[in-house]
């Protein structure tokens, strides 16, 4: 269960972003995250942990929205791409090459924040 660590990291990263804004941020209303298929994250648990970590901060009560990014693998030999969800294989189904790499599905990213600015 490393979601608590991820929640702390999310809070630290948000603090860092807020510090570097020109305008003063009053409240964070929404946090949009992109989570790749290969990342081991349970959204419900991360949200629970973040609710604890963000108490008494500008992010308290923020809604976290998750977008799951599917796994897309590219074969470097035949240049074809394929989706690797049910039967994840890194052997190219078209040419059997093992020279493949992940092009999507490893994201663990803060996409954007929706905030209220102190006017």
Partner 1 sequence: MSKIKVSQNLLKINISHAEKIKNVLKKHNIKMINLIGSPGAGKTSLIEEALRSNLLKTSIGVIEGDIATTKDADRIKRFNVPVVQINTKSLCHLEAILVEKAIKQLPLEKLDLIIIENVGNLVCPVEFDLGEDFKVAVCSVAEGDDKPLKYPALFHKAKVIVLTKVDLIPHTNFDIKSFKEDIKRLNPKAKIIETSTATKEGIDKWVEFLNNIPTLKDEV
Continuous segment of H or E residues that includes residue 117: strand 108-117
Strands 25-36 and 63-69: parallel
**Is 94 a binder of partner 1 (CB under 8 A)?**
no
Q: Is 115 in the site for partner 1 (CB under 8 A)?
A: yes
Contact call for residues 90 and 72 (beta carbons, < 8 A): no
Query: Looking at 63, 79, 83, 88, which residue binds partner 1 (CB under 8 A)?
Result: 88
Residues binding partner 1: what is the number (CB under 8 A)?
32
Nearest-5° Cα angle at 26, 117 to 19: 90
Does residue number 78 form part of the binding site for partner 1 (CB under 8 A)?
Answer: no
Footprint of partner 1 (CB under 8 A)? 1-2, 5-6, 9-10, 12-13, 16-17, 21, 29, 33, 38-40, 88-91, 98, 100, 108-117
């Amino acid at each position: 269960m490393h979601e608590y660590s991820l929640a702390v990291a999310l809070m630290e990263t948000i603090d860092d972003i807020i510090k570097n804004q020109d305008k003063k941020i009053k409240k964070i209303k929404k946090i949009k995250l992109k989570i790749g298929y290969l990342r081991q994250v349970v959204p419900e648990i991360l949200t629970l942990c973040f609710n604890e970590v963000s108490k008494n901060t500008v992010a308290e009560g923020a809604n976290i929205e998750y977008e799951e990014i599917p796994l897309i693998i590219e074969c470097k030999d035949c240049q074809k791409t394929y989706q690797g969800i049910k039967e994840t294989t890194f052997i190219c189904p078209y040419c059997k090459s093992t020279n493949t790499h992940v092009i999507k599905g490893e994201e663990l990213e803060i996409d954007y924040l929706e905030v209220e600015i102190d006017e």
